[in-house]
Structure 1
Amino acid sequence: MMKVILKLDFTDDKTKQKALKNVSGLFGLESISLDSKDKKLTVTGDIDPIDVVAKLRKICYTEIISVGPAKEPEKKKEDPKKAAEDKKKAEEAAAQLLKAHQQAYYQNLYYYQNHPPAAVAPAPAYPAYYQRSSEEDPNACVIS
Protein backbone atom coordinates (compact mmCIF):
# COMPACT_ATOMS: atom_id res chain seq x y z
CA MET A 1 0.00 0.00 0.00
CA MET A 2 1.32 3.38 -0.98
CA LYS A 3 0.09 6.86 -0.26
CA VAL A 4 0.95 9.43 -2.93
CA ILE A 5 0.30 13.14 -2.46
CA LEU A 6 0.34 15.21 -5.65
CA LYS A 7 0.00 18.91 -6.30
CA LEU A 8 -2.12 19.69 -9.36
CA ASP A 9 -2.33 22.94 -11.29
CA PHE A 10 -5.90 23.00 -12.57
CA THR A 11 -7.92 26.10 -13.35
CA ASP A 12 -11.53 24.95 -13.53
CA ASP A 13 -13.89 22.21 -12.38
CA LYS A 14 -13.83 20.46 -15.76
CA THR A 15 -10.09 19.85 -15.50
CA LYS A 16 -10.53 18.66 -11.92
CA GLN A 17 -13.19 16.15 -13.01
CA LYS A 18 -10.98 14.89 -15.85
CA ALA A 19 -8.11 14.37 -13.42
CA LEU A 20 -10.28 12.41 -11.00
CA LYS A 21 -11.72 10.32 -13.83
CA ASN A 22 -8.29 9.43 -15.24
CA VAL A 23 -6.83 8.50 -11.87
CA SER A 24 -9.86 6.45 -10.86
CA GLY A 25 -9.25 4.16 -13.85
CA LEU A 26 -5.93 2.90 -12.50
CA PHE A 27 -5.68 -0.70 -11.33
CA GLY A 28 -4.98 -1.28 -7.62
CA LEU A 29 -6.44 2.03 -6.48
CA GLU A 30 -8.05 2.04 -3.04
CA SER A 31 -9.00 5.67 -2.36
CA ILE A 32 -8.77 9.13 -3.91
CA SER A 33 -9.26 12.46 -2.17
CA LEU A 34 -8.91 15.92 -3.64
CA ASP A 35 -8.43 19.12 -1.68
CA SER A 36 -9.61 21.87 -4.05
CA LYS A 37 -8.37 24.68 -1.83
CA ASP A 38 -4.75 23.49 -1.72
CA LYS A 39 -5.06 21.69 -5.09
CA LYS A 40 -3.68 18.49 -3.61
CA LEU A 41 -4.66 15.00 -4.69
CA THR A 42 -4.11 12.08 -2.32
CA VAL A 43 -4.11 8.61 -3.86
CA THR A 44 -3.89 5.41 -1.79
CA GLY A 45 -3.49 1.84 -3.02
CA ASP A 46 -1.15 -0.61 -4.72
CA ILE A 47 -0.16 1.79 -7.49
CA ASP A 48 2.94 3.14 -9.16
CA PRO A 49 3.32 6.91 -8.53
CA ILE A 50 4.92 7.37 -11.95
CA ASP A 51 1.84 5.92 -13.67
CA VAL A 52 -0.40 8.32 -11.74
CA VAL A 53 1.75 11.32 -12.68
CA ALA A 54 1.95 10.22 -16.32
CA LYS A 55 -1.84 10.06 -16.55
CA LEU A 56 -2.31 13.43 -14.85
CA ARG A 57 0.35 15.32 -16.82
CA LYS A 58 -1.72 14.83 -19.96
CA ILE A 59 -4.38 17.02 -18.33
CA CYS A 60 -2.55 19.51 -16.11
CA TYR A 61 0.81 20.19 -14.53
CA THR A 62 1.45 17.63 -11.78
CA GLU A 63 4.09 17.60 -9.08
CA ILE A 64 4.81 14.82 -6.58
CA ILE A 65 4.85 16.12 -3.01
CA SER A 66 5.34 12.88 -1.10
CA VAL A 67 5.32 9.12 -1.57
CA GLY A 68 5.21 6.72 1.32
CA PRO A 69 3.47 3.75 2.88
CA ALA A 70 -0.15 4.17 3.86
CA LYS A 71 -0.58 4.34 7.60
CA GLU A 72 -2.20 1.23 8.96
CA PRO A 73 -4.03 1.24 12.29
CA GLU A 74 -2.14 -0.26 15.20
CA LYS A 75 -2.96 -3.90 15.76
CA LYS A 76 -3.71 -5.31 19.17
CA LYS A 77 -2.82 -8.83 20.18
CA GLU A 78 -5.46 -11.16 18.85
CA ASP A 79 -6.61 -14.65 19.66
CA PRO A 80 -5.06 -17.44 17.58
CA LYS A 81 -8.51 -18.53 16.34
CA LYS A 82 -9.34 -15.05 15.17
CA ALA A 83 -5.92 -14.74 13.54
CA ALA A 84 -6.52 -17.99 11.65
CA GLU A 85 -9.93 -16.74 10.47
CA ASP A 86 -8.41 -13.44 9.37
CA LYS A 87 -5.69 -15.31 7.51
CA LYS A 88 -8.31 -17.39 5.66
CA LYS A 89 -10.25 -14.24 4.78
CA ALA A 90 -7.09 -12.58 3.52
CA GLU A 91 -6.28 -15.61 1.36
CA GLU A 92 -9.80 -15.59 -0.08
CA ALA A 93 -9.59 -11.87 -0.79
CA ALA A 94 -6.21 -12.35 -2.49
CA ALA A 95 -7.66 -15.18 -4.59
CA GLN A 96 -10.58 -12.97 -5.65
CA LEU A 97 -8.22 -10.11 -6.48
CA LEU A 98 -6.04 -12.44 -8.54
CA LYS A 99 -9.08 -13.78 -10.37
CA ALA A 100 -10.28 -10.24 -11.15
CA HIS A 101 -6.80 -9.31 -12.37
CA GLN A 102 -6.63 -12.37 -14.61
CA GLN A 103 -10.04 -11.57 -16.10
CA ALA A 104 -8.96 -8.01 -16.82
CA TYR A 105 -5.67 -9.22 -18.29
CA TYR A 106 -7.07 -11.96 -20.50
CA GLN A 107 -10.28 -10.32 -21.68
CA ASN A 108 -8.77 -8.77 -24.81
CA LEU A 109 -7.21 -11.88 -26.31
CA TYR A 110 -8.32 -12.70 -29.81
CA TYR A 111 -8.73 -16.25 -31.02
CA TYR A 112 -8.29 -16.97 -34.69
CA GLN A 113 -9.38 -20.17 -36.36
CA ASN A 114 -6.91 -21.63 -38.80
CA HIS A 115 -8.71 -22.77 -41.92
CA PRO A 116 -7.10 -24.93 -44.59
CA PRO A 117 -5.99 -23.00 -47.66
CA ALA A 118 -8.59 -22.62 -50.38
CA ALA A 119 -8.33 -24.95 -53.36
CA VAL A 120 -7.89 -22.23 -55.96
CA ALA A 121 -5.61 -22.51 -58.94
CA PRO A 122 -2.67 -20.13 -58.84
CA ALA A 123 -2.79 -17.06 -61.06
CA PRO A 124 -1.32 -17.60 -64.52
CA ALA A 125 2.25 -16.46 -65.00
CA TYR A 126 2.94 -13.44 -67.16
CA PRO A 127 4.20 -14.21 -70.67
CA ALA A 128 7.91 -13.96 -71.23
CA TYR A 129 8.87 -10.83 -73.13
CA TYR A 130 11.40 -10.95 -75.91
CA GLN A 131 12.84 -8.37 -78.21
CA ARG A 132 12.21 -8.62 -81.87
CA SER A 133 14.67 -7.40 -84.38
CA SER A 134 13.67 -5.54 -87.51
CA GLU A 135 15.43 -8.11 -89.61
CA GLU A 136 12.95 -10.78 -88.55
CA ASP A 137 9.91 -8.61 -89.25
CA PRO A 138 10.05 -6.53 -92.42
CA ASN A 139 6.98 -4.48 -91.43
CA ALA A 140 8.49 -3.31 -88.12
CA CYS A 141 8.96 0.40 -87.54
CA VAL A 142 12.50 1.58 -86.90
CA ILE A 143 13.22 4.85 -85.10
CA SER A 144 16.60 6.27 -85.80
Structure 2
Amino acid sequence: MKKVILKVEWSEDKLKQKAMKTVSGIIGVESISMDTKDKKLTITGDIDAVTVVAKLRKLCYTEILSVGPAKEPEKKEEPEKKVQDEKVDINQLMYAYQANPAYYGYKIVEQDPNQCVIC
Protein backbone atom coordinates (compact mmCIF):
# COMPACT_ATOMS: atom_id res chain seq x y z
CA MET A 1 0.00 0.00 0.00
CA LYS A 2 1.33 3.38 -1.01
CA LYS A 3 0.14 6.88 -0.39
CA VAL A 4 0.90 9.30 -3.23
CA ILE A 5 0.33 13.04 -2.90
CA LEU A 6 0.28 14.97 -6.18
CA LYS A 7 0.06 18.66 -6.94
CA VAL A 8 -2.25 19.14 -9.90
CA GLU A 9 -2.77 22.46 -11.71
CA TRP A 10 -6.33 22.56 -12.98
CA SER A 11 -8.28 25.57 -14.02
CA GLU A 12 -11.76 24.20 -14.65
CA ASP A 13 -14.20 21.92 -12.88
CA LYS A 14 -14.34 19.74 -15.97
CA LEU A 15 -10.61 18.98 -15.62
CA LYS A 16 -11.20 17.92 -12.00
CA GLN A 17 -13.85 15.46 -13.12
CA LYS A 18 -11.61 14.07 -15.87
CA ALA A 19 -8.71 13.73 -13.42
CA MET A 20 -10.88 11.83 -10.92
CA LYS A 21 -12.20 9.56 -13.67
CA THR A 22 -8.69 8.90 -15.01
CA VAL A 23 -7.21 8.11 -11.60
CA SER A 24 -10.13 5.95 -10.49
CA GLY A 25 -9.73 3.82 -13.63
CA ILE A 26 -6.17 2.81 -12.71
CA ILE A 27 -5.86 -0.73 -11.36
CA GLY A 28 -4.90 -0.88 -7.68
CA VAL A 29 -6.37 2.44 -6.57
CA GLU A 30 -8.30 2.07 -3.31
CA SER A 31 -9.11 5.64 -2.33
CA ILE A 32 -8.84 9.10 -3.82
CA SER A 33 -9.16 12.41 -2.02
CA MET A 34 -9.00 15.83 -3.60
CA ASP A 35 -8.14 19.12 -1.89
CA THR A 36 -9.33 21.80 -4.29
CA LYS A 37 -8.05 24.67 -2.17
CA ASP A 38 -4.40 23.51 -2.18
CA LYS A 39 -4.79 21.73 -5.56
CA LYS A 40 -3.60 18.41 -4.12
CA LEU A 41 -4.68 14.91 -5.05
CA THR A 42 -4.06 12.09 -2.55
CA ILE A 43 -4.20 8.51 -3.83
CA THR A 44 -3.79 5.31 -1.77
CA GLY A 45 -3.45 1.77 -3.06
CA ASP A 46 -1.07 -0.61 -4.81
CA ILE A 47 -0.09 1.80 -7.58
CA ASP A 48 2.97 3.17 -9.36
CA ALA A 49 3.27 6.94 -8.88
CA VAL A 50 4.96 7.43 -12.25
CA THR A 51 2.08 5.73 -14.06
CA VAL A 52 -0.46 7.95 -12.32
CA VAL A 53 1.50 11.11 -13.14
CA ALA A 54 1.94 10.05 -16.77
CA LYS A 55 -1.83 9.65 -17.17
CA LEU A 56 -2.61 12.93 -15.42
CA ARG A 57 -0.07 14.93 -17.44
CA LYS A 58 -2.18 14.28 -20.53
CA LEU A 59 -4.82 16.47 -18.88
CA CYS A 60 -2.87 19.10 -16.91
CA TYR A 61 0.45 19.88 -15.22
CA THR A 62 1.20 17.40 -12.40
CA GLU A 63 3.98 17.13 -9.78
CA ILE A 64 4.76 14.40 -7.26
CA LEU A 65 4.91 15.90 -3.76
CA SER A 66 5.43 12.71 -1.75
CA VAL A 67 5.32 8.94 -2.03
CA GLY A 68 5.29 6.74 1.03
CA PRO A 69 3.60 3.85 2.79
CA ALA A 70 -0.03 4.34 3.73
CA LYS A 71 -0.75 4.45 7.43
CA GLU A 72 -3.01 1.64 8.45
CA PRO A 73 -5.52 2.35 11.19
CA GLU A 74 -4.53 0.99 14.57
CA LYS A 75 -6.33 -2.19 15.44
CA LYS A 76 -7.64 -2.48 18.96
CA GLU A 77 -7.29 -5.87 20.52
CA GLU A 78 -10.63 -7.30 21.45
CA PRO A 79 -10.86 -9.62 24.44
CA GLU A 80 -11.72 -13.15 23.48
CA LYS A 81 -15.32 -14.04 24.11
CA LYS A 82 -16.19 -17.41 25.52
CA VAL A 83 -18.25 -19.38 23.09
CA GLN A 84 -21.09 -21.25 24.69
CA ASP A 85 -22.36 -24.37 23.01
CA GLU A 86 -25.96 -23.97 22.03
CA LYS A 87 -28.16 -26.95 22.63
CA VAL A 88 -30.11 -28.00 19.59
CA ASP A 89 -33.55 -29.46 20.08
CA ILE A 90 -33.41 -32.84 18.38
CA ASN A 91 -37.18 -33.11 18.00
CA GLN A 92 -37.24 -30.24 15.53
CA LEU A 93 -34.75 -31.98 13.27
CA MET A 94 -36.79 -35.21 12.95
CA TYR A 95 -39.65 -33.87 10.86
CA ALA A 96 -39.94 -35.67 7.55
CA TYR A 97 -41.08 -34.11 4.32
CA GLN A 98 -44.65 -35.04 3.42
CA ALA A 99 -44.90 -35.46 -0.32
CA ASN A 100 -48.20 -34.49 -1.92
CA PRO A 101 -49.86 -37.11 -4.11
CA ALA A 102 -49.46 -36.53 -7.82
CA TYR A 103 -52.59 -35.44 -9.69
CA TYR A 104 -52.79 -36.19 -13.35
CA GLY A 105 -54.51 -33.69 -15.56
CA TYR A 106 -56.82 -34.95 -18.27
CA LYS A 107 -58.91 -33.27 -20.90
CA ILE A 108 -62.22 -34.30 -22.35
CA VAL A 109 -62.10 -33.57 -26.07
CA GLU A 110 -65.86 -33.62 -26.70
CA GLN A 111 -66.63 -30.69 -24.39
CA ASP A 112 -63.88 -28.33 -25.64
CA PRO A 113 -65.51 -25.18 -27.15
CA ASN A 114 -62.30 -24.13 -28.90
CA GLN A 115 -61.97 -27.33 -30.82
CA CYS A 116 -60.94 -27.26 -34.49
CA VAL A 117 -63.91 -27.35 -36.86
CA ILE A 118 -62.00 -28.44 -39.97
CA CYS A 119 -61.38 -31.96 -38.69
SS of residue paired to 1:33: strand
Higher helix share: 1
- 1:72 & 1:78 partners in 2: Cα distance? 18
Residue 14 in structure 1 maps to residue 14 in structure 2? yes
1:38 counterpart residue number: 38
Provide TM-score, normalisation by structure 1. 0.52
- Compute the displacement of 1:75 (Å): 2.9
- Compute the displacement of 1:76 (Å): 3.8
**Deviation by residue 1:50-69 (Cα, 9 ceiling, x = unmatched):** 11000000000000001011
> Partner letter of residue 4 of structure 2?
V
Structure 1 gap ranges (5+):
81-144
RMSD of the TM alignment (CA)?
1.6
Higher strand share: 2
- Compute the displacement of 1:74 (Å): 2.0
Identity, % of aligned positions = 71
Provide TM-score, normalisation by structure 2. 0.63
- 1:70 & 1:33 partners in 2: Cα distance? 13
Structure 2 gap ranges (5+):
81-119
Number of corresponding residues = 81
